Chain A
């Protein structure tokens, strides 16, 4: 089984709908992240959480919200989806020790907003 699991893997939704992307991890890491990937661009950070009670905005948090339900679970919500939120979304974890350079990514969720 994958250490970082994202559900769903693919989703098509309509403009204005609320949608939740879920992430769970078995690595026992405190730090979790949500990134967005668009064609020709690098990963951009949406939100991050360093423990269950900690939630922080990344560089592109507008239109998104998150919930850290447990150490192992971090979900991303689009309250009212719009077409320019069509992208590949990745959840990641890191141990938070040392310089914490290695992040572990899920397989991604391909979201299409029509």
Chain B
């Protein structure tokens, strides 16, 4: 498959455990924050977004937390599965522009 990042921060978790992927952002003016998942050999896929005036949003097995005080965003994945192994990108939406972070590689150990 494609290698999307040879020197990315990595997170290794045991199957069934919860995963927490963190992201720091820089611009307080961002309207939305978004998480994307990129599996090997594929393009990024939207997971969940959160508006800047919210601090938590839940999806299916995922929760995004936004802490505007410290400009920190996290993605929590419950009961991590082998299919969750991928690179996860946080992104900021400012007007019509989306600015992507460098990504975190998640390894799920069976």
Contact = CB atoms under 8 A, between A and B. Distances in A.
Contact of B102 (A42, A88, A90): A42
B34 A105 contact: no
Given A101-B34, A105-B43, A108-B43, A43 B89 contact: yes
SS class, residues of chain B in contact with chain A: loop
Interface in A1-54: 4, 37, 39-45, 50
A73 interface: no
B43 A101 contact: no
Contact of A4 (B2, B34, B43, B102): B43
Nearest to B50: A101
B5 interface: yes
Contacts of A102: 34, 46, 49
Interface of B: 2-8, 31-32, 34, 41-46, 49, 51, 89, 91, 93, 96-103
16 contacts: A37-B4, A39-B3, A39-B5, A41-B102, A42-B101, A43-B44, A43-B100, A88-B2, A88-B4, A92-B43, A101-B93, A103-B46, A105-B43, A105-B45, A106-B43, A108-B41
Please give me the 3 A-B residue pairs with the lowest Cβ-Cβ distance, nearest first.
A105-B43, A42-B100, A43-B100
